[in-house]
Structure 1
Amino acid sequence: ADHPGLAGERGHQPSATPRQADYAFTVLARVVSWAFDRGLVLANPLERAGRLYRGTRADKIWTVDDEVALLAKASPELRLAFIFALYTGQRQGDLLRLPWSAYDGERVRLRQNKTGARVSIPVHSTLRQALETAPRCSPVILTNSAGRPWTSAGFSSSWRKLVKRAGIEGLTFNDIRGTAVTRLALAGCDHALISAITGHTMGQVGAILDHHYISRTAILADEAIANLEAN
C-alpha cells in the first residue's frame, strides 16, 4: 500500500512540476559549479542543461618530443598557429579569428568567444619572434598558405594531415591549451596566474593539473636532483 505521507488523495505518487524540476536543477547546478570552481570536483556535468558530461581531455598533453616532431614537419603557417596556442593557452576558434590589432608588440588582448572572458597576455619572446617575422597579408594573424584567413574546417584538415606526417597520435590542437596550463605550472605560476593568462576558471586549472600530477612531479623531481648534484 502507498504510504499515506507520500501519496496523493487518490493514492498516486506525487510528481514534481516543471517549475519545481527547474528549480531543483538550478540549485544543484549552482552547488556543483561552486565545487568545480574551487577544484573540489574534476568536472561539472551540469554546466549545460540537458547535456551529460561526456569525458575530459585534461589528461592529454603535448610533450617536448611531440612539439619537436610537429615543428619539424610544420609549414610556417601551422608552426605559427602551434606557437601561438602554446604560449597563450587559447582555443583554436579564438586564435583563428584574432586580428593583428589584438597584438601591440608586447601583449595579446582578446575576448574569448566561448566564455566571454577577457584576457591580456604578455607575449613570450618565442611568440614575439614568430609574430614579428610572420607576413601581414590579412587583418587576421593566422592565415593559410594563400594568405587568407583559415576556415575552421580548412585548418582542422591541414592540422590532421600535419599531425599524421609528424607521427603523433591521440593529440588535438585544443590539447595544446591544457599543455600550456601544465607548462605554466612547471614554470612556477600559481592557479590565479594561470587563470589570468588562459581564461580557465580556478577549478578548471586545478582539474587539468590534477590529471598531470604524476608527470609534473616527475619533472620537478628530476630538476631537484639535478640541483642537488650541481651543488
Structure 2
Amino acid sequence: MARADLPKHAHRVKRMTKAGARYHFYAWRGGPKFWTDTHRHPTDPAFSVAYAEAVRRPKQDTYMTPQMVDEFLSSAEMPKGARTREDYRLWALRFAEAFKDDPATMFEEPEARGEVNSWRAKWKHSPRQYDYAGTVVTRILNWAWKDAGKLRVHHCDGFRKVYEVDRSEIVWTPAYREVFNAIAPEWVRRILCAGCETGLRPADLIKLASTHVEQTPRGRRLRVRTNKRKRLAHIPITPALAEVIDTTPPDRLLILTNANGNPLTPHRASEAVRQWRDKAKLPDNLRLSDTRGTAATRLLNAGLSLAEIANHMGWSVRYAANVIEHYARVSPDETDAVLVKLAQAKGGVA
C-alpha cells in the first residue's frame, strides 16, 4: 500500500519492541486503535475493513497523553508532600514526553503494558528509578480511569518491584557517634543528636522549635505532628536531647539551624551529616535517616512500650523489636541493659 493510500485521518505511531518495530494505527489522533502491524504501510485487505469499522464509532474529542498528564498534575490525586510532588512531576513529564504522540486511549490496549515496560527499561540500571517510573504511570492511569473517567480501563498496574532495601541493620552506634562528634562542628553534631534521640525524619527535625516542648509530671516531651504521616508524636526528652534544647540561644525559635543560625532544608541537614561522616571515615551507607534505629532504643530506655515506638516510627511491633535487638547486639556497651528491657517489653505485648 503506497503512502498516499493510507486513510486521510488515520494516525500512526511507531514503537520499538524486542522483536523490532511495530506500528499502531488509530482511526484519528485521539481516536480508537484499530490495527497493529510490523509494516509502516499495511497491505492486508483487513486493514481497510478495520478502519471502516473504527470510523463508524462515535468520534470523541482528541485527548492526548500529555493532556492527561497535565490534568493529573493539577488534580487532587497528586501527593501532598513537597518532595514527593516534585518527584511525581519529574516522572510524569518524562512519561508525557515519551508518549507525546499517543492518544490516552492507547493505554486501554493490553499491548500498552509492554510499551510502558520498554520505556521504563531506560532505567533498568537503577532498580529504584525503574520502580518509581512504574508507580507514577500507574497512579496517573488509575486517576484517568477511576476518577476522571477518561479511560474505560488500563493494563499498567501491578508492575513487579525490583528494588528491595532493608536498612534495619544500619544504625549509628555509640562508637560511630563518638568518632563523628570528635570532628564535626557543633551545629552538625546537634542535628545527629536530635535524630538519634527522636527518630524524626529530616523534614521534621528541621522544624523542631521551642514551642514543641511540653512539661509533663515526670519531665518534658516533644509534641510534634509528623510531616509524612500527619501523626501526633509525643517523644520523651532524653538527657542528650535536653542538652541540645537547653543550649539553643533564647532568641532562636528553631532548635536546629546551620552555622549562621539560619533555617535548614531536609537536604542540607542530611548533606551536612553525610559530609562529616565522610570526613570521619565512617561507613558510607550511614545516613541521617538511619538514626531511627538508635532512637528506637533510646525511646525504649525512656519508658515507651514497643507499640508506642512502632506507632511513632510507622513500623510493625515485630520490626521495632528486631531493630532494637540488632542495635543492642552491635553496641556491646548497651547490650545487657537494652536486651533486658526489650524482653520485658515483649512480655507486655498482647
Coarse TM-score class (shorter-chain normalised) = 0.5 to 0.7
State TM-score, norm by structure 1: 0.64
In structure 1, the residue corresponding to 2:214 is in which secondary structure? coil
Question: Contact (CA 8 Å) 1:88, 1:180: kept in 2 or not?
Answer: yes
TM-superposed CA distance for 1:196, in Å, is 5.4
Identity rate of aligned residues, in percent? 28
Question: Contact (CA 8 Å) 1:87, 1:124: kept in 2 or not?
Answer: yes
In the alignment, the residues of structure 1 paired with residue 177 and residue 331 of structure 2 have an alpha-carbon distance, to the nearest angstrom, of 17
In the alignment, the residues of structure 1 paired with residue 170 and residue 335 of structure 2 have an alpha-carbon distance, to the nearest angstrom, of 17
- Whose relative contact order is higher, 1 or 2, with alpha carbons under 8 Å and at least 6 apart? 1
- The match for 1:75 is 185
Question: Contact (CA 8 Å) 1:107, 1:121: kept in 2 or not?
Answer: yes
Q: Over residues 154-206 of structure 1, what are the superposed CA-to-partner deviations in whole Å (9 max), with x where a residue is unaligned?
A: 22332221111212112111111112224545778641242355454425414
Q: Over residues 193-231 of structure 1, what are the superposed CA-to-partner deviations in whole Å (9 max), with x where a residue is unaligned?
A: 42355454425414534655854799239999xxxxxxx
In the alignment, the residues of structure 2 paired with residue 102 and residue 147 of structure 1 have an alpha-carbon distance, to the nearest angstrom, of 19
Q: Evaluate the alpha carbon distance shift between residue 222 and residue 135 of structure 1 in structure 2; reply closer, same or farther with a 3 A threshold.
A: closer
TM-superposed CA distance for 1:126, in Å, is 2.0
Q: Evaluate the alpha carbon distance shift between residue 149 and residue 59 of structure 1 in structure 2; reply closer, same or farther with a 3 A threshold.
A: same
Question: Contact (CA 8 Å) 1:186, 1:220: kept in 2 or not?
Answer: no
In the alignment, the residues of structure 1 paired with residue 337 and residue 210 of structure 2 have an alpha-carbon distance, to the nearest angstrom, of 41
In structure 1, the residue corresponding to 2:235 is in which secondary structure? strand
Question: Contact (CA 8 Å) 1:186, 1:216: kept in 2 or not?
Answer: no
In the alignment, structure 1 residue 142 sits paired with structure 2 residue 256: yes
- Structure in which a larger fraction of residues adopt strand: 2
Question: Contact (CA 8 Å) 2:297, 2:338: kept in 1 or not?
Answer: no
The one-letter amino acid paired with 1:68 is: E
State TM-score, norm by structure 2: 0.44
Q: Evaluate the alpha carbon distance shift between residue 219 and residue 207 of structure 1 in structure 2; reply closer, same or farther with a 3 A threshold.
A: closer
Q: Within 5 Å, which residues of 2 pair with 1:78-157?
A: 78-104=188-214, 106-157=220-271
TM-superposed CA distance for 1:99, in Å, is 2.5
Q: Evaluate the alpha carbon distance shift between residue 136 and residue 82 of structure 1 in structure 2; reply closer, same or farther with a 3 A threshold.
A: farther
Alignment RMSD (CA, Å):
3.5
- The match for 1:208 is 323
- Count the aligned residue pairs: 180
Q: Evaluate the alpha carbon distance shift between residue 141 and residue 202 of structure 1 in structure 2; reply closer, same or farther with a 3 A threshold.
A: same
Question: Contact (CA 8 Å) 1:138, 1:149: kept in 2 or not?
Answer: no
In structure 1, the residue corresponding to 2:206 is in which secondary structure? helix
In the alignment, structure 1 residue 219 sits paired with structure 2 residue 341: no
Which ranges in structure 1 are unaligned for 5 or more consecutive residues?
A: 1-16, 18-45, 225-231
